[in-house]
Amino acid sequence: MGVGGDQHLANLLKKLDAFPKQREEAAEFFQRTSAGGVITLVSGLFMALLFFSELRLFTRVTTVNELSVDTSRGEMLEIHFDVTFPRMPCAWLGVDAMDISGEVQLEVDHDVYKRRLSANGTPLDDGTKHEVGPSAHPVPGNATDRTADPNYCGSCYGAQSREGQCCNTCAEVREAYRTKGWALLDVDKVEQCHHEGYKEEIQEQKGEGCHMWGELKINKVAGNFHFAPGRSYQQGNMHIHDLSPFTGQAFDFSHTIHKLAFGQEYPGMKNPLDGVQLLLPRLLISAAGLYQYFLKVVPTSYINLYNHTIYTNQFSVTEHFRETASPTAGGGQLPGVFLFYDLSPIKVRFQESRISFLSFLTSLCAIIGGVFTVSGIIDATVYHGQQAIKKKLDLGKLS
**pLDDT tens string 65-124:** 899 999 888 789 999 999 999 999 998 899 999 999 889 898 888 899 999 999 888 888
Number of helices and strands (H, E) in the chain?
5, 18
Residues 107 and 224 in one domain: yes
CA 177 to chain centre: 38
**Three-state DSSP state, 369:** helix
Residues 290 and 187 in one domain: no
343 within some domain? yes
pLDDT below 70 — which residues of the chain?
1-4, 19-31, 126-149, 183-188, 194-197, 282-288, 325-332, 396-399
Residues 278 and 170 in one domain: no
31 within some domain? no
315 strand-pairing partners: 297
Beta-strand relationship, 104-105 and 288-303:
unpaired
Helix%, strand%, coil% for the chain, nearest 5: 30, 30, 40
203 within some domain? no
Residues 217 and 189 in one domain: no
What does the pLDDT read at residue 22? 60
What does the pLDDT read at residue 273? 95
CA distance 254 to 336: 9
Instruction: Give the total number of structural domains in the chain.
Output: 2
What does the pLDDT read at residue 154? 83
What does the pLDDT read at residue 142? 43
Residues 186 and 237 in one domain: no
Residue 289 belongs to what domain range?
Answer: 66-133+210-353
What does the pLDDT read at residue 363? 86
Residues 215 and 180 in one domain: no
Residue type, 307: N
Of 229, 231, 237, 139, the C-alpha closest to 185 is: 231
Residues 214 and 280 in one domain: yes
**Three-state DSSP state, 356:** coil
269 within some domain? yes
52 within some domain? no
Residues 223 and 281 in one domain: yes
Residues 216 and 276 in one domain: yes
* pLDDT tens-digit series, residues 194-247: 666 677 778 888 889 999 999 999 999 999 999 999 888 777 778 888 787 787
Residues 308 and 223 in one domain: yes
Of 42, 39, 34, the C-alpha closest to 12 is: 34
What does the pLDDT read at residue 312? 94
Residues 258 and 342 in one domain: yes
185 within some domain? yes
DSSP H stretches of helix in the chain: 3-16, 34-59, 170-180, 198-204, 357-395
Residues 125 and 264 in one domain: yes
